[in-house]
Structure 1
């Protein structure tokens, strides 16, 4: 493979219009990039956090020579997925060229950060560090991208021993991208490194037991991990000379796309973000994590003393659409009316709707229970609509609390995705989490979060928190607040029962028990937040 030289960016006129905003010629800019699966995107913000420029390169359509489908190559075994790393280099070349065409002066960029798709690894051939420093276009560079990093490093070591022996460094997609800006190997950050199953999230160092179980010499191949807020160094002299970056422009550690999205959603302690799409995804800010077999816990990308968690639920909008079709004649208006016309708590009726094998927890099937805890074959249409929505959101909250999440004073629920346009669904979400719900735009959250992190990285050493940096950021829109306690099931501190099966794959009342969970009431000394069962219990 050959390195692709970046296009030179010539200085623009003293004042240019980018994305509809006139910018002073000397105002500082901060870049956030996202190396996602299908495209490379960039956002430029100013010191007031205003977005002044956005751009992207779509791999399949704009770089057809690499013959990717969805940005990847799927191998004959239908299991191995790789991506041509040189494609990312050329995409960056094209992206910088587009930014030049829009009149963006890269000499004004004070810091750059970015994100990459998680669980991807890039193997650098021996001698690649010298190639990075010299950027000789006649040098070959071999990179291989795999999924599920820790396991795939072990697979390469076992099945491609000769190539593994010739490996000088192993990067994540995020640290690879940062290396392109640094002109040398960039450290893996704590947050993205948490997703490798190799990092001890308590000590924030590699776990020697996990490294030894993966492959030899892993300490040397991975390098020492660094805090996600670290300034790695200035941009390379190559980018200064060829692209017009300032010599004082800093590269802040790149991270994974999910941690960057948490930054872009502007979450803070106690917040939860719920993406209501085909699959539902829950982002959590956690202070005291309790790792479990379900869900993912990462070091927090913007607070070195905190953590974040990620939960994925496969049965999301498609399941809601099925119940809409069956119980509301395909009408969202009738579906919403059913939620308005049924009481909070649904008079004790609840359901679990796993149309396909669920991720969290691993269960399948549809199970409905009446107020007497008896499993029934059906519910009346209005009751079934609320049973579905309350059951889904109770599951989201229960699994979140199992990982260590707790609702505190000031907790906000950030909603995004297709179902976040439905006011009645959001009202149930607010009631279940007993917190106000706000809507946010998730479309560019990884890019925007990276730009915010670039700015934060320059001031974090002086004690400025991420929330301080975000004071000028646009506020999310408040759309729902929890109903008063008097409208609950039967008063403050009430409980709604949630089913916990003895075996997540074996359903039926004979093999099931009920877990009482404080729900919908305001937490107080006499009615504290629910105490969860010990580790190993299965939540639904």
Structure 2
């Protein structure tokens, strides 16, 4: 069987995450030939972000300037790495982008601005008048609780919203964020011609027009009917008037071609980070799970029979239009781990010790469970199934409690959501998946083999693979099968012991949530 791709083919995927922009380029053999990364805080210091975002000291707001995206996509300030990425683009690489759950509000007339972009000029100046607001909320934002409750009430309750859209109303989702802008800045909403996710916005820059929102990415908006794969009239009316026209069309979740960047380069629909990671990790069985250890921690897998609940999310399967992807998301991931990290060598040494303690530490207001910033330390006696709150831990116990506590919570909520525990295998990705000590704890907590991929940035890799798949789909060549993730290692487990420790942690979580509800 001959090669499905031309010898000179290049496929390029972008991962525009909270803290950085990554790019991965694949050749005709789907081997990585180039990769680059731009860290927003250090490489674009003039935006004065902290960990890639602006934090509102008075509340739960987390925003970023739309110009940060424009700045990083225009290659300013110039660097050798960005110039190399631009050379890949000029050679006809196929593109795909990962998005970080942000939306862009584009003013009346922005379609004309996009259509007249000059590739020889910087994007910052050309798009300076395109945005109807200077602030763009991101996935870490938690300032729209009242809007979430209003939407749930209008639709018929939180479970009804989850059944309809795949998720209950979440503060970071686009629907509640749009409702907040409509309620507090109606003039901004009225002046907005198009509302784009980062995925469709960045694609719009390349094609010189409005790109559609991908169904899988669009499912994370509280606006799409999950079963019908179309905008939900009920959800739209509960959010803001005249919204469907501002959103534009939805695109199928399968990697079908969309536009030509130039004659030799195809731009296919762009999607979100976790859908692209699922593609990059080639999860193809309901017994497979992936855990991404990044700025946020997520666990996701695929299913043919989704069961929407009050926690977690259901999306269309990004590589199979007949199935679904399920996901749980935790706001406190790597940024929380790094608070107690010091050096990775010391961090790993501490993790090798195994105290029976439990720690619940939130640097950001947590999504699952809904708990505020704070740290709660407990010593746990597994044999007697009791725990006692304490004021402090020594350094090894602190590190162990944070990592172990995060993974125990992921396992517990995964079981509640119907994901298989123990799974057939776990594929770990994200920056922290490079730490073998963390993976050993993961294998012990979940009781299964843990695999990793060659590179932890699976979102940009998955984006490039889906670009290659889209190229195949356009030419009807082959079935577009993706290569399997490589096995990195297997660890032993203590499933029963961790099961009891997990139950104690969930009891602590329940009491804390109840205490918060009474305050």
Normalised to the residue count of structure 2, the TM-score between the two structures is: 0.71
1:52 pairs with 2:42: no
- TM-superposed deviation, 1:476: 3.0
Q: 1:150 to 1:385 in 2, by over 3 A?
A: closer
- TM-superposed deviation, 1:438: 1.5
Q: 1:59 to 1:143 in 2, by over 3 A?
A: farther
1:178 matched residue in structure 2: 203
Q: 1:331 to 1:500 in 2, by over 3 A?
A: closer
Number of corresponding residues: 453
Tell me if structure 1 keeps the 8 A contact 2:13–2:25.
yes
Q: 1:276 to 1:43 in 2, by over 3 A?
A: closer
1:529 matched residue in structure 2: none
User: 1:477-521 deviations in whole A, cap 9, x for unaligned?
Assistant: 4322445xxx8769xxx988824867945379xx9xxxxxxxxxx
Aligned 1:392-411 pairs, distance under 5 A: 393-407=407-421, 410-411=424-425
Distance 1:184 1:454 in 2: 19
- TM-superposed deviation, 1:332: 5.1
1:252 matched residue in structure 2: 268
Aligned 1:80-99 pairs, distance under 5 A: 80-94=61-75
User: 1:93-126 deviations in whole A, cap 9, x for unaligned?
Assistant: 32899565579454543521112221x1111212
Distance 1:130 1:430 in 2: 53
2:254 aligned counterpart, secondary structure: coil
- TM-superposed deviation, 1:222: 0.6
1:40 aligned counterpart, secondary structure: strand
Q: Which has the higher helix share?
A: 2
1:312 matched residue in structure 2: 330
1:20 matched residue in structure 2: none
User: 1:22-51 deviations in whole A, cap 9, x for unaligned?
Assistant: xx9951111112333444332221121222
Distance 1:65 1:376 in 2: 47
User: 1:167-216 deviations in whole A, cap 9, x for unaligned?
Assistant: 21110111000111121111111121122121222322222211101111
2:95 matched residue in structure 1: 112
Q: 1:394 to 1:409 in 2, by over 3 A?
A: closer
2:227 matched residue in structure 1: 202
1:146 pairs with 2:152: no
2:33 aligned counterpart, secondary structure: strand
1:11 matched residue in structure 2: none
Distance 1:82 1:335 in 2: 34
1:476 matched residue in structure 2: 486
2:12 matched residue in structure 1: 31
1:435 pairs with 2:448: yes
- TM-superposed deviation, 1:230: 4.2
Tell me if structure 2 keeps the 8 A contact 1:31–1:451.
yes
Q: 1:419 to 1:454 in 2, by over 3 A?
A: closer
Tell me if structure 1 keeps the 8 A contact 2:291–2:299.
yes
Tell me if structure 2 keeps the 8 A contact 1:315–1:353.
no
Tell me if structure 2 keeps the 8 A contact 1:280–1:312.
yes
1:124 matched residue in structure 2: 106
2:360 matched residue in structure 1: 354
Long gaps (5+) in structure 1: 1-23, 241-246, 325-329, 343-349, 512-540
2:75 aligned counterpart, secondary structure: helix
2:511 matched residue in structure 1: 506
Tell me if structure 2 keeps the 8 A contact 1:352–1:392.
no
Tell me if structure 2 keeps the 8 A contact 1:40–1:91.
yes
- TM-superposed deviation, 1:355: 4.0
1:395 aligned counterpart, secondary structure: helix
Q: 1:446 aligns with which of 456, 459, 479?
A: 459
Q: 1:278 to 1:33 in 2, by over 3 A?
A: closer
1:271 matched residue in structure 2: 288
1:190 matched residue in structure 2: 215
Q: 1:207 to 1:100 in 2, by over 3 A?
A: same
Distance 1:395 1:75 in 2: 28
Tell me if structure 2 keeps the 8 A contact 1:115–1:255.
yes
2:217 aligned counterpart, secondary structure: helix
2:299 matched residue in structure 1: 282
Distance 1:361 1:162 in 2: 35
1:371 pairs with 2:383: yes
User: 1:208-239 deviations in whole A, cap 9, x for unaligned?
Assistant: 21110111111111112112334353335xxx
Aligned 1:55-66 pairs, distance under 5 A: 55-59=36-40
1:255 aligned counterpart, secondary structure: coil
1:311 aligned counterpart, secondary structure: strand
Normalised to the residue count of structure 1, the TM-score between the two structures is: 0.69
- TM-superposed deviation, 1:166: 2.1
Tell me if structure 1 keeps the 8 A contact 2:257–2:471.
no
Distance 1:192 1:129 in 2: 22
Q: 1:373 to 1:265 in 2, by over 3 A?
A: same
Q: 1:220 to 1:352 in 2, by over 3 A?
A: same
Distance 2:384 2:289 in 1: 32
Query: Which deviates more, 122-131 or 48-57?
Result: 48-57
Q: 1:411 to 1:464 in 2, by over 3 A?
A: farther
Tell me if structure 1 keeps the 8 A contact 2:409–2:502.
no
Distance 2:33 2:448 in 1: 33
1:220 pairs with 2:209: no
2:250 aligned counterpart, secondary structure: coil
Distance 1:254 1:470 in 2: 20
Aligned residues: CA RMSD: 4.5
1:212 aligned counterpart, secondary structure: helix
Distance 2:68 2:500 in 1: 54
2:312 matched residue in structure 1: 295
Q: 1:355 to 1:175 in 2, by over 3 A?
A: closer
Tell me if structure 2 keeps the 8 A contact 1:146–1:152.
no
